[in-house]
Structure 1
Amino acid sequence: MSPRVRRPLLALAAAVLVLLGLVRPAAAHGFTSTVYAHVTSVGDSSLRTELKLEYDLLVVSAADAGSNDPLFRTGTDAFEAGDADAQAAALNAHRTTAVGYVTERLAVTAGGAACEPAPAGTFRMGEEEGVPYALLALDWACPEQHTPGQYEIRSGLFPDSEGYVTGTKTIATYAVDGRTGSAALDAGHPSFSIGQSWPERFWGFFRLGAEHLLTGTDHILFLLALIAGSRRTREVVLAATAFTLAHSVTFMLAALGLVDVPADLVEPVIALSIAVVAGWHLWRIRGRGTDATELRAREGNAGLRAPEGDRGGLDRAGWIRLGVVFGFGLVHGLGFADALGIEAAWSWTLLWSLLVFNIGIEAVQLAVIAVLFPLLLLLRRRSERAALWATGALSAGVAVMGLIWFVQRVTES
């Protein structure tokens, strides 16, 4: 292989390996949890945090499961019975243990001084995405002498070290001292200030969206399949645009609670979409052969010029592929919404948070395309055959992973 071909091929391979090295090796949406917190003022120097906590996770985390703890025993029995009243009764019967777990890992300060928590009422039960959630309100008595807006909330609930879930997020909304807003917390960014500026709020949800795409193996593989199967800049731009428009629509509708599709259906279809889009490129290779001269004649000047007469720079197969990408993008949007998981009444604050989260997803998606696709075009200019083998091998690997995940998710659902 000549150096003219070897250099872009190695650069493309290195870029793909680096990208895959950033994502988690397991299925993208594994065992994670989201805590919801709504913070409001109570009097002149107190706050109330209204928390929603995944019930079975709270039971196993707060109890000592290894010693037949009474909270673990009664709470687990109530969970397996699916009895919401029994679940609330189990938590209230062992209220000291359950509340103690929460207040050890959730903290509020005012002007740097700690606020003292006290339960406001009993545990109640609710539901998020079909999963039982425990509802707990805490009143925090804070020092009277502090500047409005100097409240800070820190969450370390359900950390990775406990071994039950990974990557717990706390989605907080607040209306305190005339300030309203939202924040996204995780292990890397465990706290926020009520007085945070709008760039700080923007960065929190932008980062959450960017990290979700980068750490979502299935979404990254879908994007790689789109890039590998696109031969012209216009084609990959149209595919990325169709995917963006589609997942933005369902993402917003699902996150606002207007569309509700079970994860047991969404996750297998996402896996299938990876296999289909990657397999589409393999089918095109098989249908057109491996002769580089034939491919140039069909697709025009190393893939940069659209064949004459094609509408929008795409042939019939290209438009069909675009429709398939759009359809699967609708399903991926439901997966993105599950990652954010905001459940609240309509508000401009909520809409702003959803939009910024989506911008974070799009920024990473465009960055990946901007890095990988020019390398692929360069390789095609140097050697059409080498590019064909490279994209074929990549698509084959992606298709196999998609099919494996599809079977796993169907059998586990």
Structure 2
Amino acid sequence: MVKHFSHRALTIALTLGAFLIFSSSAFAHGFTSVVYVDATQGARDHVRTELALEYDLLVVSAADVEHDDPLFEDGTAAFDGGDPKAQAAALDEHIDTVVAYVTGRFGVSADGTRCRPSRDGGVEIEQRDGVPYARLALDFACPAGAGAHELTSKLFPGSEQYVRSTHTIVTYEDLDVQSGTASLDAAHPSFSTEQSRLEQYWAFFRLGAEHLYTGIDHILFLLALIAGSRRLRDIIAVATTFTVAHSVTFILAALGVVSAPASVIEPVIALSISVVAGMTLYRLWRPDDGAEGLDWQRLALVFVFGLVHGLGFASALGLDRAFSWSLLSSLLVFNLGIESVQIAIILAVFPALLLLRRRVPLAGLSATGAIATGVCAMGLLWFVQRVAGV
């Protein structure tokens, strides 16, 4: 008995340690930023763009390029003050530095020729999920009679290394008589109106897949579901419930029908991880205590928490647009990317855990307990951090 207890305790300790190290590593390597671009074609071969960039990153990155410009001091003071008018004024005061940074990394070209950028008005500050964003309008004058237009974005990360990666979400209307949405990143920094719809969909599929496999909180929630599923029908039931729930709120939030602040969504997501993992631990120690009732309670919780995770997915994508069939199709493809990784994780983990439970019951019980304990601990840690704003 002592040997079995020591083996289980060691397994749990090692797993918990691995979760803590993995989590710390994930936070240490920066975060992902999103840039939003609205592009429309104007008169006389002009393309008007409105860019929304995270205020603090813009200040740090632009100041990093122009070391002699006091933008960093003025912009940081305005950021700390939390006054949108002061933040806009700080950027307007150093507008040449800001525009030089942005146009050095974002541009429009036509038939391979770069269009000439110019600023169109001052800077405005808007809030996106509680984060201040600077909105800057740029007008690009292109060669007369040019054909297909191409947008290129290499904004963030810069040499400051605060940002792990950046996605630029481009929404375009009447650009070369086309309208739609495109996703750009470091691997695919450009979008052309000559690209096929299939290429655009593939970008959103990759974006959805990447969001799940780099989102450790969503992965841990999925692991908690897997650990608490004893039979094939259990994992099918919870996976389907989670998929339906997060798909509904994801689509509605991305279309601007529903919304919730990130300050609420993120702590609830962390709490959901702990609650679902905690139910698994309860079932391990009290296997015969109302199992049927617990199954229904678990499905109900998964559905409710799935609704919250859907809001988190929509927040990461950052779209809040009026309905269009083009936008809806892009959202569905993004969601397919999420589902593909979710299915891959289930296929990789659940059969192995199920086989271990049947062939070596004690080891299977230890593995399930270790996973549930580690996930529960991480969820509680993140919940405290997110509530405290750490």
- The TM-score, its normalising length taken from structure 1, stands at 0.82
Aligned to 1:9: none
For 1:335, what is the secondary structure of its paired residue? helix
1:209 offset after TM fit, Å?
A: 0.5
1:216 offset after TM fit, Å?
A: 0.4
1:359-374 to structure 2, matched below 5 A, reads: 359-374=336-351
Aligned to 2:244: 245
Sequence identity, in percent?
A: 59
Aligned to 2:156: 158
Which stretch of the first structure deviates more once superposed, 114-123 or 84-93?
A: 84-93
Separation in structure 2 between the aligned mates of residue 239 and residue 29 of structure 1, nearest angstrom: 32
Q: Is 2:116 aligned against 1:116?
A: yes
Larger radius of gyration: 1
Aligned to 1:70: 70
1:5-404 to structure 2, matched below 5 A, reads: 25-26=25-26, 31-64=31-64, 69-144=69-144, 146-147=146-147, 150-159=148-157, 161-175=159-173, 176-288=175-287, 315-404=292-381
Aligned to 2:9: none
**Are the equivalent residues in 1 in contact too, given 2:61–2:158 (CA < 8 A)?**
no
1:64 offset after TM fit, Å?
A: 4.3
Aligned to 1:6: none
**Are the equivalent residues in 1 in contact too, given 2:20–2:378 (CA < 8 A)?**
no
**Are the equivalent residues in 2 in contact too, given 1:256–1:344 (CA < 8 A)?**
yes
Separation in structure 2 between the aligned mates of residue 336 and residue 20 of structure 1, nearest angstrom: 24
Separation in structure 2 between the aligned mates of residue 183 and residue 319 of structure 1, nearest angstrom: 40
Distance change >3 Å, CA 376–CA 169, structure 1 → 2? same
**Are the equivalent residues in 2 in contact too, given 1:123–1:136 (CA < 8 A)?**
yes
1:21 offset after TM fit, Å?
A: 11
Distance change >3 Å, CA 82–CA 285, structure 1 → 2? closer
1:44 offset after TM fit, Å?
A: 4.9
For 2:165, what is the secondary structure of its paired residue? coil
Aligned to 2:5: none
For 1:108, what is the secondary structure of its paired residue? strand
Residue segments in structure 2 that go unaligned for 5+ positions in a row:
1-18
**Are the equivalent residues in 2 in contact too, given 1:28–1:215 (CA < 8 A)?**
no
1:372 offset after TM fit, Å?
A: 2.0
Separation in structure 1 between the aligned mates of residue 328 and residue 283 of structure 2, nearest angstrom: 41
Amino acid at match of 1:341: G
For 2:320, what is the secondary structure of its paired residue? coil
**Are the equivalent residues in 2 in contact too, given 1:92–1:123 (CA < 8 A)?**
yes
**Are the equivalent residues in 2 in contact too, given 1:22–1:215 (CA < 8 A)?**
no
After superposition, what is the alpha-carbon deviation per residue over 1:333-357, rounded to whole angstroms, capped at 9, x for unaligned?
A: 1211111011323322222222211
- The TM-score, its normalising length taken from structure 2, stands at 0.87
Separation in structure 2 between the aligned mates of residue 28 and residue 378 of structure 1, nearest angstrom: 35
1:323 offset after TM fit, Å?
A: 0.8
Separation in structure 2 between the aligned mates of residue 374 and residue 242 of structure 1, nearest angstrom: 20
Q: State the number of aligned residues.
A: 372
Separation in structure 2 between the aligned mates of residue 67 and residue 161 of structure 1, nearest angstrom: 13
1:108 offset after TM fit, Å?
A: 1.6
Which stretch of the first structure deviates more once superposed, 278-287 or 64-73?
A: 64-73
Over aligned residues, Cα RMSD in angstroms?
A: 2.8
Separation in structure 2 between the aligned mates of residue 288 and residue 315 of structure 1, nearest angstrom: 11
Separation in structure 2 between the aligned mates of residue 28 and residue 388 of structure 1, nearest angstrom: 33
Separation in structure 2 between the aligned mates of residue 48 and residue 136 of structure 1, nearest angstrom: 11
Separation in structure 2 between the aligned mates of residue 248 and residue 257 of structure 1, nearest angstrom: 14
Separation in structure 2 between the aligned mates of residue 65 and residue 80 of structure 1, nearest angstrom: 22
Separation in structure 2 between the aligned mates of residue 119 and residue 136 of structure 1, nearest angstrom: 8
For 1:136, what is the secondary structure of its paired residue? strand
Q: Is 2:384 aligned against 1:412?
A: no
Amino acid at match of 1:144: A
Residue segments in structure 1 that go unaligned for 5+ positions in a row:
1-18, 290-297, 299-309
1:133 offset after TM fit, Å?
A: 1.9
